[in-house]
Structure 1
Amino acid sequence: MEIIFLDQNKWIELAQVHSGRIKGGPIAQLFPRLVAAVREGRVLFPLSVANIMETAKRNDDVSRRLIAETQAMLSLGYVHRSRAARIEVELRAAIQRRFGIEPERMPTHWAIAPGFMQAFEPMDELMASPGELARVRRMTSLVDPAALYLNYMVTQDDTRRREANAKLSEGLSALVAQIEGRRARFASESLDMRRRIYAAQSWVDHLDVLNRIVAALGYSFDDLSALGDSTMRALLEDVPTMNVEVEMATRLEAKTGTLSANDVLDMQSFYTAIPYSDRVIAEKAAISHAQQAKLDSKYGVILSRSLEDLSGHYVS
């Protein structure tokens, strides 16, 4: 089964076909083939946390429902797991390899999970508290994941939804401001130096996680450091989510012009999807950044700018 990630604009294109607004052309012909291929188990289009948030923030009830229906049909309610859970698994495996330990073999598509809640760390089965874990498993056992997602998008309390979206916007604005501040400080630095700076900051941000995992494996941070600087630098590249984030963030910060919340969401989508997808279809700028970093060849993913690139696929 192929895993394909779509950025939000591509979901909107498909929703226009689903709604009947677009009745002809390549995308209109493609959409029913994609729906059939999903039903046959040939392909799946899991959602990212960015997809979920961008759909939820739409204030127009009709457009939000149409996009959610489209996403439910093609994702079947499956999502990319939370960032924290992915980093936990990836970092543990990377550390084990550094000490010559064979990492635990994970199931195929382990980073894809049923139930939109699992895109968020507190409700991800790999991270949730025992009580939350029981609640998540109960929900996914009683309600089809696609129906659960659609119900959430259509019936959630509007006041609470708007409040949540306002907090999201505040958080994104703060993150953009933080990135802009870093851009200003390192404006004269080369791309390679920016990458090193961001990588160092990434390690600082994840030091608690690193220490906890190292200790759980029976080692100390000194044991890891004793392996040498080159090993420590290589460790970051062996943690896919962190590696893609560093590469995308470095290029995002080096671009000209003012950054927006959408730029940050694109970055989040790419470090979520690239390591665990067969194909990523997104906007030109983000695709170009990923190609410049050679992330497509490193992770064996096809990067596309148009849904029409799927037109030759999934023909019965």
Structure 2
Amino acid sequence: MHIYLDQNIWIDLAKIHHGKDTSDSSVILLERLNDKVRTGDIVFPLSNAHYIETSTISNEGRRNRLGEVMFKYSKGVTLASYKSIVINEIERALKSNFPIIKPRYFQLFGKGVQHAYGEKLNVDIPEFMERAILTGEQVGGKKIGGFHKTEHNEDFKDHLTKVSKMCSTVPKGQWQDTLDAMALADIEEPLSEVLEYWEIEFELFMALGKERISQILNFMPSRALEIHLNKQVLKNPNYNPTSNDLMDWGGVALASQYCDIIIGEKHIYNMLLRDKFKTKAKLHRRLSDLEQYLC
């Protein structure tokens, strides 16, 4: 069972692990979690969003304690990168229209930071370095794990602001077409890579027509998710985007399409539940909600 924890939930787990939360219910929960993790019945995968958010913690002690818990309970298991997931989705979605496409091998859950970022190096990263990337510990006198760039967060915040304002500039009857176009534009790079790999002209893809392309987008879990979330923003002219929305959408929201359980904060939890949207994962808000799965 793959359970994805939002960053704040990892912090809650770290508090219990390090004795900051000593309530009877929390201690019992930790004992049962340890048993399930030890037997492999439960896996807590990390995503690149976790690496980024952890690396931005300025307090070295706090980062070290959190990173230690994340490494211990994830056992180094990571969710594939966003781009790797999207490429696989595209190939699976297009194979019925273009029989030449035979979806390539894809590993959803793998090991380490390379898998989370979709990067392939010529050498394996040793375990002590994988741990240091999360904890911020020094290796050879140098601190590693510098994934703290946040300019994309602000760009995404601006994007959501524009989406929210569209409710007053785009007629409601055109919302779906607009959202489909945005979802397609967002995957322009991986789509081009797939078409080029299988030697399919982009014009042939576009010749499928608006209706068929819309069906393809909704067949792709990440695109169906993107359209749903953008629709929630579009329906709310008072939506107040934050610089952390990119981490929520690319982390816990994406994981809701691929993991068995996610535990996320109220904001993204509520957005996922609206309009009877279907997620693969069961949605929860608190670490204590895991109790029902630990018997």
CA contact (8 A) 1:57 1:161 kept: no
Q: Where does structure 2 lack aligned partners over 5 or more consecutive residues?
A: none
Cα separation, partners in 2 of 1:303 and 1:223, compared to 1, 3 Å: same
Superposed, 1:248-263 pairs within 5 Å as: 248-255=229-236, 256-263=238-245
Q: Higher mean Cα deviation, 213-222 or 33-42?
A: 213-222
**Which residue in the other structure is 2:288 paired with?**
308
Report the more deviating stretch, 246-255 or 270-279. 246-255
- 261 and 194 in structure 1: CA distance in 2 versus 1, 3 angstrom threshold: farther
Match of 2:265 among 261, 272, 283: 283
Q: Deviations over 1:187-218 (max 9, x none)?
A: 45477744532320231243343244234334
CA–CA distance in structure 2, aligned partners of residues 160 and 197 of structure 1? 45
Worse-matched range after superposition: 150-159 or 57-66: 150-159
Alignment map for 1:70-149 (pairs within 5 Å)? 70-99=69-98, 103-104=102-103, 110-121=107-118, 123=119, 128=120, 132=121, 134-135=122-123, 138-139=124-125, 143-144=126-127, 147-149=128-130
Partner SS, residue 303 of structure 1? strand
Please show how residues 189-204 of structure 1 align to structure 2 within 5 Å.
189=170, 193-204=174-185
Letter in 1 for 2:292: G
* Aligned positions of 1:1-316 closer than 5 A: 2-99=1-98, 103-104=102-103, 110-121=107-118, 123=119, 128=120, 132=121, 134-135=122-123, 138-139=124-125, 143-144=126-127, 147-152=128-133, 153-156=135-138, 165=148, 167-168=149-150, 170-187=151-168, 189=170, 193-255=174-236, 256-295=238-277, 297=278, 299-315=279-295
Larger relative helix fraction: 1
Structure 2: distance between partners of 1:185 and 1:291: 22
Q: Which runs of 5+ in 1 are unaligned?
A: none
C-alpha distance in structure 2 between counterparts of 1:11 and 1:303, whole Å? 16
TM-score normalised by the chain length of structure 1: 0.81
Q: Deviations over 1:39-60 (max 9, x none)?
A: 2010101012222211111111
**1:67 Cα deviation from its structure 2 partner:** 1.1
The answer to whether the 8 Å contact 1:57/1:162 transfers is no
Name the TM-score, length of structure 2 as normaliser: 0.86
Distance in 1 of aligned mates of 2:130 and 2:234: 34
Decide whether aligned partners of structure 1 residues 300 and 17 sit closer, same or farther in structure 2, where only a CA change above 3 A counts.
Answer: same
Percent identity of paired positions between Structure 1 and Structure 2: 22
Counterpart-to-counterpart distance in 1, 2:157 and 2:182: 16
Shift in CA distance, 187/25, structure 1 to aligned 2, threshold 3 Å: farther
Residue 263 of structure 1: how far off its partner (Å): 2.6
